[in-house]
Structure formats: C-alpha cells, structure tokens
Amino acid sequence: MLAPDSVGRTFAGADSIQISQSEIDAFAAVIGETDTSIASPTFTIRISLDQFQNILTKPEIGLDWSRLVHGDQKFEIFSQVKAGDNLRCSATIESYRVAAGNEIVSVRSDLHNGDQLVVSSWSTLVVRA
C-alpha cells in the first residue's frame, strides 16, 4: 500500500539524465521514424517510468511495482528533447485511491533542462489486487 502521507508530494528524481543519440535512434527505429534530430514524442516515457519505479518503490512510499499495469498516459511537450540534453526529473503523486482492491495512483513527471520545463507527463498506474 502507498504511504498516505506521500499523496500530493513532489519527489526529486535523478538530477542529471544525459540523453544520447543512440537511445533516440533505437526508440525511433522501433516505430519507423527516420527523423532522429529530436526524440520521438513518447520517448521520455523511457525516463519517466524508470524514475517512477525508483521513487515510488522506496520503502517510505511503498508501491508494489511487480503487479503494476499502465492505465493511461498523457504528455504535454513544451520543447524538444535532443541528444546531449541533461534532464532533471521530479515526480508528483497527484492522487491515490483503492477500488476493488486495486491501487490506482496518478503521478506526474516533470522533466527540466536547466530552468526550462521540457515535458510534463501524467501516468495512471494500477497495482492489481
């Protein structure tokens, strides 16, 4: 169960995630995108889900990642992610509820490049009963 006092709080994630051309290329190749001068629109899920896992499974927060399914996802893209960017990630637990034994967590990821907010994304994660 998620610790109730973590809801509404923002947690710092990694403060220097360097984006490489090879990871942009690999992501683009799967979907057949040939323009790799910038990252594909959903590329940053690679960062956000990894950061969510690191943050939300800490003992003081307590999410069980092993029974997780992804319920929904939304991105707002303010500027493009490119190779060489150094991104900082934070995660905010926006809401939490339990329905029929399933835990439903809404968490927002904010990716900054320096002072600039690059991408915000929202994930609903469901821990199955």
Partner 1 sequence: MIEIGTALPEKIIYLDRAMLKAYADASGDQNPIHQNEEFALSVGLPNVIAHGMLTMALVGKYVTDWSGGPATVREFGARFIKPVIVPAGEKVDLTINATVIEVNGEGIKLDLVATSAGVKVLGMAKAVVVKR
Nearest residue (CB) to partner 1, 9 versus 26: 26
Closest by CA position to 124, among listed 12, 55, 49, 13? 49
Footprint on residues 103-122 left by partner 1 (CB under 8 A) = 122
Q: Does 94 bind partner 1 (CB under 8 A)?
A: no
Among 9, 58, 74, 97, binds partner 1 (CB under 8 A): 74
Residues 12 and 87: beta-carbon distance below 8 Å = no
Q: How far is the CB of 4 from partner 1 (least distance, A)?
A: 26
Closer residue to partner 1, CB minimum distance, 5 or 66: 66
Q: Which two tokens stand for residue 107?
A: 């968490």
Rounded CA separation 29/52 (Å)? 25
- In DSSP terms, 124 is beta-bridged to 72, 106
What residues between 19 and 58 interact with partner 1 by CB under 8 A?
A: 23, 26-33, 35, 38-42, 45-46, 49-50
